[in-house]
Amino acid sequence: MKKQVKISNAVIKRLPRYRRYLKELHKKGVDKISSNEFSRLIGYTASQIRQDLNNFGGFGQQGYGYSVDGLYKEISAILGLDRKYKMVIMGAGNLGQAIANHTYYYKTGFVVDSIFEVNPRLIGIKINDIEVRDYEDLVEYVEENEIDIGVICTTKEVAQEVADKLCFAGVKGIWNFAPVDIEIPSHVAVENVHLSDGLHSLAYHINRNQEEAKTK
Amino acid sequence: MKKQVKISNAVIKRLPRYRRYLKELHKKGVDKISSNEFSRLIGYTASQIRQDLNNFGGFGQQGYGYSVDGLYKEISAILGLDRKYKMVIMGAGNLGQAIANHTYYYKTGFVVDSIFEVNPRLIGIKINDIEVRDYEDLVEYVEENEIDIGVICTTKEVAQEVADKLCFAGVKGIWNFAPVDIEIPSHVAVENVHLSDGLHSLAYHINRNQEEAKTK
């Protein structure tokens, strides 16, 4: 695996977005893109793009642009998307099921191995061919099957307890959908998803547009 | 309604996070917080916090700190969370159902009015007391019921078509969960959710932690 450089979290958060746009460009048959063209497409300034990509030694050439496929592959490798990850979903409610059913994750190397539940009526059934297992068996299962990521799809109230158990069992990362920031040891990575944050930004823009329409 | 100032999108994206932390502080009985204390808690620098909040005229007082409840209310008003929004969910699959069942949105003023579907077996049923309606009736329904927001929980393939219909019907904002950036007229606000972006950042941090552990 290639040696990784320490990069600011803000840049890391932008890389998946660069990668998505590069993938779409590649699909459309685009081979090269300049930072200016990329800027118009992705909505960051050209200087921001050059600065971000310079973090990795710079893939562009003056007056030539970035190689779409080359940059896509480099970013994929930097993010660690050139390997597989085994995930367990905590909670077989609608959200847990939505993630279990989302084929996208499998295609991109994030394999849902199992779903864990406390509800005895759900334990033993299969969702999208994935077995729903007893929460009581979590620690042993994670250890034996070398699970990388725990996806928390529980209520806010039990999320921290579930996170503690996942960390104890030895997962390397937690993807948390419960609407609370969970606390974990520093050797475990965490991504807290706050869906409502996006909704609240959306509310701002709706009001802003309405204000602008009034003053026209 | 208070007159709104034009603020950069990056700041707007941070405001919901400030608001969440302020809410938690208020719940814990904290009245005042300095930018330094807030910085340790939320993970932005104190200078970033002061700069962000200065956009709104500045609510803090030198040597005194921010009023937790006051700032919470101000940010809520800036985001437009002092009013109600009527939402329709497009698609009654797992994700659509997860959102329909999530009581959080109702409590915070985002009311799910209806769910729209093309599958005739689902049309007419109720999910969390919300009626699933025929996609064919969308335009008329949105117009008559003054729907503010369309939540796209469809596949990537039909997302743009659904977005076009929502815009035609007159929604003011679109919250898009389909894994594709949709294009909409400038008078409609859009928030594209890319769940996998967070997963890809998580992958980076997992690998980074493992690299660090090896070199120790």
Complex ipTM, two decimals? 0.89
**Mean pLDDT of all residues in B123-150:** 96
**B 72-91: CB under 8 A from A:** 78-81, 85
pLDDT value at residue A10: 78
- Residue B63 has what DSSP assignment? T
Per CB-CB distance under 8 Å, the chain B contacts of A207 are: 1, 4, 80
**Mean pLDDT of all residues in B43-66:** 77
pLDDT at B3 over 80: no
pLDDT value at residue B127: 92
Helix (H) or strand (E) holding A110: strand A110-117
The rounded mean pLDDT for chain B is: 89
C-alpha span between B148 and B68 (Å, rounded) = 30
pLDDT at B65 over 60: yes
Bridge partners, A151 (sequence order): A89, A175
C-alpha span between B91 and B37 (Å, rounded) = 43
| Residue that has been written with the tokens 């729903």 in this structure | A132
- Residue B146 has what DSSP assignment? T
CATH superfamily of A85-196: NAD(P)-binding Rossmann-like Domain (3.40.50.720)
Indicate if the alpha-carbon torsion angle A107, A109, A113, A119 is positive or negative. negative
Distance (Å) from the C-alpha of residue B168 to the closest C-alpha of chain A? 16
pLDDT at B34 over 80: yes
pLDDT value at residue A179: 83
Short-list A109, A38, A23, A34, CA closest to A69: A23
Instruction: List, by residue range, all CATH 1.10.10.10 domains of chain B.
Output: 9-79
pLDDT value at residue B58: 57
Short-list B19, B185, B203, B75, CA closest to A213: B185
| Interface touch A12/B108, C-beta < 8 Å | no
Is residue B150 a contact partner of residue B166, using CB atoms and an 8 Å limit? yes
pLDDT at B131 over 80: yes
pLDDT at B51 over 90: no
Is residue A142 a contact partner of residue A170, using CB atoms and an 8 Å limit? yes
pLDDT value at residue B63: 65
Tokens linked to B9: 């999108």
C-alpha span between A201 and A211 (Å, rounded) = 15
Q: Which of A199-203, A211-215, B57-61, B105-109 has the highest mean pLDDT?
A: A199-203
pLDDT beneath 50: ranges in chain A: 1-3
**B 38-67: CB under 8 A from A:** none
pLDDT value at residue A13: 85
Tokens linked to A87: 């995930």
**B 23-42: CB under 8 A from A:** none
pLDDT at B128 over 70: yes
pLDDT value at residue A65: 85
* CATH architecture of the domain formed by B9-79: Orthogonal Bundle (1.10)
How many A×B Cβ pairs under 8 Å?
Answer: 168
Per CB-CB distance under 8 Å, the chain A contacts of B98 are: 93-95, 97-98
pLDDT value at residue B5: 58
B214: left (phi over 0), alpha (psi -120 to 50) or beta: alpha
pLDDT over 70, % of chain B: 93
Instruction: List, by residue range, all CATH 3.40.50.720 domains of chain A.
Output: 85-196
A110 touches chain B (CB under 8 A): yes
Backbone Cα Rg of chain B: 21
- Model pLDDT for residues B173-210, shown as the tens digit of each residue: 999 999 888 999 999 999 999 888 899 999 999 999 98
Quickly list DSSP for A7-56: --HHHHHHHHHHHHHHHHHHHTT--EE-HHHHHHHHSS-HHHHHHHHHTT
Q: Please, what's the largest Cα pairwise distance for chain B?
A: 64
pLDDT over 90, % of chain B: 62
Amino acid identity for residue A112 in this structure? V
Tokens linked to A70: 């080359």
